[in-house]
Amino acid sequence: MQNKKAVFVCCGTGCLANGSGEIYNAFQKQIKKLGLDVEVIPKIKKTGCHGLCQKGPLVHITPQEITYIHVKATDVAEIVERSIIKDEVIDRLLYFDKQQKAKIQSKEDWTFEKKQYRIALRNCGKIANDSIDDYLEKDGYKALEKVLKTMTGQEVIAEIKESGLRGRGGGGFPTGIKWSLAAKAIGDTKYVICNGDEGDPGAFMDRSILEGDPHTVLEGMAICAYAIGAKRAFLYIRDEYGLAVKNMRQAIATAKERGFLGENILGTDFTFDAEVVRGGGAFVCGEETSLLHSIEGSTGEPSPKPPYPADKGLWGQPTIINNVETWANVPVIINKGADWFASIGSEKSKGTKVFALVGKINNTGLVEVPMGITLREIIFEIGGGIPQKRKFKAVQTGGPSGGCIPEDKLDLSVDFDSLIAEGSMMGSGGMIVIDDRTCMVEFARYYLQFLSEESCGKCVPCREGIKSMLAILDDICEGKGKPGDIELLAEIGAMVQANSLCGLGKTAPNPVLSNIKNFRDEFEAHINEKRCPAGVCKNLTKFYIDAQTCIGCGACLKSCPVEAISGEKKKAHILDEAKCITCGNCRDFCRVDAICVR
Amino acid sequence: MQIFINNKPYEANASEKILDVARRNGIEIPTLCHSEALPGLASCRLCMVEVKENGRTGQVAACTHPVAEGIEVNTESELIAHHRKTLLQLYYLMAPQSKRIKAMLSYYHVPAFDRLPADKDNKCILCGLCTKACSELGTNAISTLNRGTDKKVGTAFDEPAITCIGCGACASICPTEAIEMSEQDGKRTIWEKTFQLLRCSDCGEYFTTPEALAHVRQKLGERAGKIEELQLCEHCKTKKTATKLKDGLKLEEVFDSLAK
C-alpha cells in the first residue's frame, strides 16, 4: 500500500471553479494513455478542500509528498512525466513561502500549515470524497462500532461532556449538556439534525467538510442518535451547496449499502436513517428554530425559546441540532478519548476551530487551529499578513453579526468567551481581515444592508431597528450625518441586542457597536468634518497627489478614466479635484503611495 | 409556586407565563401582539422584562417566558424603561397614524423623534396577529409576504383572496386598527373583496357573511344543526344565553348545550 503512488486533485468548490475538474480528467487520460506499469499507476483521487484555496487548483502527490499550486490542465503531462514517473520536483509549480523566503516542496512544510491542528478537517484533501473505503482506512466508523458495542448512551454523553466540546455553529453551547437534555426529554420520536445552512459571507468550512468528508458528519450524527435514542436524522444543507448535497447523498447511499445506516447497524439492534433537506435560501434558517420550521414546511422564521429544541424541536419532539463542524469532531473524540480532546485548546474552549480566512490577507483559505491561539498568529503567521504591505486595521470575526477587533487586541486568545468579551463572537468561524483602505463606517453599513435583507422581519426590534440604523449609516456615508447620530446608533443598537427574538437580531448591531467603540474617530470625521479618512465614501473623499512622494511614473495618469491627472514623466503629477470622480483607481495603481486622502 | 415581581411575592401555576401572573395581579406590562385567545407570537417585544433566574439576570419576553420557582422579575428597571422608550420611538416611525401607538407614546412619555422620517400613512406594525387569526380561525387567506424590511401582510399576489370568507377576525384582532373593513348597505368590504351580509334572525341587524357562517357550520359538523344561536348577532347571542341562565339552566348546561 505504502509504495503505491497517488495523485490528490482538490475538487472542492473553490478549486473546481478554477478548473480542477479538467485537471482531474487530464490526469486520468494521461496515465491511461501511457499505460504505466501497474506498480506506479497512480490512484487519482478527487478530494475535498486542502485549505489554501487562494493557490488552487492544488495537486498533491504521494509518497513523494509534492504539492503543486495553480496547476493548469496543460501542466498535467509534465507532472506525470517528471514527478510521477521520475520522482522529480517541478520547481515552477511549487509554493513560494514568503515567511521562509523559499519554495517549499510539500504542503506539510508551508508556514500556512505549521501552526494548524486538524481534527474536523483531518480527512479533507486526504481522502477521496466519494469513497467510503478511503474513510474506513482512516478509522472511519470505528467510533460508531466502539459506541454500539462497548458503550451505553449515558457513557457516550459523559464522554462528550468530559471532552468539553462546545457547539461550533456560533453559540458555543456545551454539546454534551445539550445531548443529555434531549436524552432525558420525553418524546415518541427523537431527531438528530445537522445544521449545514452556512450563510455567513466568506465562510466555507461547513461546505468543505460536507464536500470533502461527508461520512464523518454521518458518523457523528449516528453516535448522537444512539446516545439520545433517536432513529432519524436530517441534514439541512444550504441550497447553493450543490456539490455538498451531491456528495452527502452519495455518502448516505453507500453507508446504507455497507450497513452503517439503516436497520440493525453493525449487527446490533440500533436503527438509524438520514436524509438531506435542501435549505430554503434564507440566512435566518441557520438559526435553529427557523431551521426546524423550514424542515417542517413552514416559513423560516424563529420561535421563542424556551422551549428549546432539545425539549421540543422538530414536530414538537426532542431534537438535537449541531453544526457540521461539531459533528465532525465527535468520532475523533470517541476514538481518541475525552482527555485527549480536552488537552487541546484553552481553559474553557476545548479542541480546535476552523476559520475561513478571507479579506485583505495573503493566504486566503481554511485554517484549523487550537483554541486559544492569538489572532496575530492566525493573521500574520498562518495567513501570511496583509497583501501589498498595507497596514492591518481590524479583523471581523463571526460573520455579518460579528464585531471588528482592532490592532491593539491582536494578541487576544481566540476562544468563545474572549471574543464575546470584545463585542464580537466566534460565529461559525468567518474571519475577514481589513486593511487601512477600508472605511469602518461603510463596513458596518454594508453588513447592516445584508442583515436588513436577511432579517426575517418577524420581530419589531430586529426589523425596524436594523432599518433605522441603516438609514442613519446611509446618511453618514453620504455626508448627511448629524451630531448625535453616534449616540442614537448606540442606543438603538443596544435595544435591538436586548429585545430581539432570535440570535440574528441579538447580534445584528455588533458590527456597528464594535466599530463605534473601536473606531469612533472615523464616525466623527464623517459626521463633523464631512471627511472619510479611508477614502472610500465617495461624497466625503478628495484625493490629491503628494508632490514630495510622486515619482512621476505615469501609472495613475494611465489608470484615470476621466483624465483628471496630468503631469510630465519623472515630475510630480497633479490631480484636478473638479474632474476627479473619486473612483480610487489611481490610488490602487500608485506604487509609492503618493495619492493621498484630504 | 411563588415568583417575585418588582420585589413582591405572587402565586403562580407551573404552566403560566410571566405575563399571565402580572396581568392577574394588575401589574402593568405593555403589549401589542399578545392576545389571550392566540398567545405565543412574541413579535412586538414590548413586554420585555428583566428576570433573575438560576443566578443569571437577562431580558426576556414576558408573554412567552415560563414561570419558575423563585424567579425575580423586574418590569420597570431603568434598562427596561430605556429600551421600551427606544422601541416605542421605532413604533412611532412605523405607524404614526395608529391611535393605540399614539396613546402608548404619550402614556410612557416618549419624547418626539424626528431624526428619521416616519411612515406617514401606515398603521400596520407587522405583529402577525391577523395572519395567526386567519390561520387558526379563518382560512389562511392572508399571510406575511416577503422578508426583512420588505415584509408586509397581504393576500396571495395582492389579489382578492378566493379563500377569504369575510369573517373579519383579522380586523377585529388587529391592535393598531390597520386592517380596513367597511360595512354599507348590507355589504362588507375587506381585503378588496365584497360580501353580502346576513341578518340576525332575532333583531334583524346585519352581523356576518354567509361564507363565514358556512365555515363555522363546517367546523362544527353535526353539532351545527343543534345550535340555534348561530343565526344570532353578538348582542342577541348574549341576551339568549342570559335568558337561559335566568330560566334556571346552569352555566355548565349552557356550555354543554353549545358543545354537543
Q: What angle do CA A188, A174, A148 make, to 5 degrees?
A: 55
> Is residue A255 over pLDDT 50?
yes
> Is residue A201 over pLDDT 90?
no
Strands A273-278 and A232-237: parallel
What is the arithmetic mean of pLDDT over B24-41? Answer: 95
Judged by CB atoms closer than 8 Å, whether chains meet at A457 and B146 is answered as yes
| Closest among A456, A450, A436, A435 to A510, alpha carbons compared | A450
The two most distant CA atoms of chain B are separated, in Å, by 64
Judged by CB atoms closer than 8 Å, whether chains meet at A460 and B115 is answered as no
Give this complex's ipTM.
0.91
Judged by CB atoms closer than 8 Å, whether chains meet at A492 and B86 is answered as yes
> Is residue A327 over pLDDT 60?
yes
Residue ranges matching CATH 3.10.20.740 in chain B: 2-77
In CATH, what class is B2-77? alpha beta
Beta carbons within 10 angstroms of residue A39's beta carbon: 8
Q: B128-196 adopts what CATH topology? A: Alpha-Beta Plaits (3.30.70)
Question: What is the predicted pLDDT for the residue at A29?
Answer: 87
B172: Cβ contacts below 8 Å, ≥ 6 apart = none
| pLDDT band with cut points at 50, 70 and 90 for residue A2 | very low
Overall size of chain A counted in residues: 598
Q: Whole-model pTM?
A: 0.90
d(C-alpha B18, C-alpha B230), whole Å: 36
Q: A132-342 adopts what CATH topology? A: Rossmann fold (3.40.50)
A265: Cβ contacts below 8 Å, ≥ 6 apart = A144, A148, A222, A259, A271, A272
What residues of B are in the A interface, CB distance below 8 Å? 40, 42-45, 48, 59, 61, 64-66, 79, 82-83, 86-87, 90-91, 93-94, 115-116, 125-128, 144, 146-151
Question: What is the predicted pLDDT for the residue at B257?
Answer: 66
Phi, psi of A294 (to 5 degrees): -65, -40
Q: Which residue of B has its CA nearest to A485?
A: B115
Of the candidates A457, A482, A495, which has its C-beta nearest B86's C-beta?
Answer: A495
Judged by CB atoms closer than 8 Å, whether chains meet at A456 and B148 is answered as yes
Of the candidates A282, A472, A485, which has its C-beta nearest B147's C-beta?
Answer: A282
Whether cis (ω within 30° of 0) applies to the bond prior to A331 is no
When the candidates are 3.30.450.40, 3.90.1150.10, 3.30.565.10, 3.30.70.20, the CATH number that belongs to A542-597 is 3.30.70.20
What is the arithmetic mean of pLDDT over A414-429? Answer: 88
What is the arithmetic mean of pLDDT over A219-224? Answer: 98
CA–CA min distance A159, chain B (Å): 26
Let me know: does A544 contact A577? Beta carbons within 8 Å. yes
Identify from A448, A451, A460, A462 which residue to disrupt to test chain B contact, counting B C-beta atoms within 10 A and taking the largest count.
Answer: A460
Model confidence over A136-169: pLDDT tens digits? 999 999 999 999 999 999 999 999 999 999 999 8
Let me know: does B48 contact B84? Beta carbons within 8 Å. yes
Of the candidates A464, A472, A485, which has its C-beta nearest B94's C-beta?
Answer: A464
What is the arithmetic mean of pLDDT over A493-498? Answer: 97
Judged by CB atoms closer than 8 Å, whether chains meet at B44 and A455 is answered as no
Of the candidates B48, B116, B128, which has its C-beta nearest A458's C-beta?
Answer: B128
The answer to which of A197-211, A329-343, B240-254 has the lowest mean pLDDT is B240-254
When the candidates are 3.10.20.600, 3.60.15.10, 3.40.50.11740, 3.40.50.300, the CATH number that belongs to A352-435 is 3.10.20.600
> Is residue A47 over pLDDT 90?
no
Judged by CB atoms closer than 8 Å, whether chains meet at A459 and B43 is answered as yes
Chain A, window 279-338: residues with a beta carbon less than 8 angstroms from a chain B beta carbon:
282, 284, 299, 303-304, 306
Model confidence over A103-127: pLDDT tens digits? 999 998 999 988 899 999 999 988 9
Query: A95 by DSSP, 3-state: which?
Result: strand
d(C-alpha A138, C-alpha A406), whole Å: 41
Provide, rounded to the nearest whole percent, the portion of chain A with pLDDT above 70: 98
Let me know: does A93 contact A69? Beta carbons within 8 Å. yes
CATH of domain A6-110: 3.40.30.10
The answer to which of A131-140, B201-210, B251-260 has the lowest mean pLDDT is B251-260
Let me know: does A424 contact A404? Beta carbons within 8 Å. yes
Residue ranges matching CATH 3.30.70 in chain B: 128-196
Judged by CB atoms closer than 8 Å, whether chains meet at B45 and A501 is answered as yes
CA–CA min distance A321, chain B (Å): 22
What is the arithmetic mean of pLDDT over B61-90? Answer: 97
Delimit the domains of chain A by residue range: 6-110, 132-342, 352-435, 440-528, 542-597
Model confidence over A549-595: pLDDT tens digits? 999 999 999 999 999 999 999 999 999 999 999 999 999 999 999 99
Strands A6-10 and A43-47: parallel
Burial of A106 (0-12, 13-18, 19+ CB in 10 A): middle
Question: What is the predicted pLDDT for the residue at B195?
Answer: 97
Judged by CB atoms closer than 8 Å, whether chains meet at B151 and A457 is answered as yes
Distance separating the N- and C-terminal Cα atoms of chain A: 65
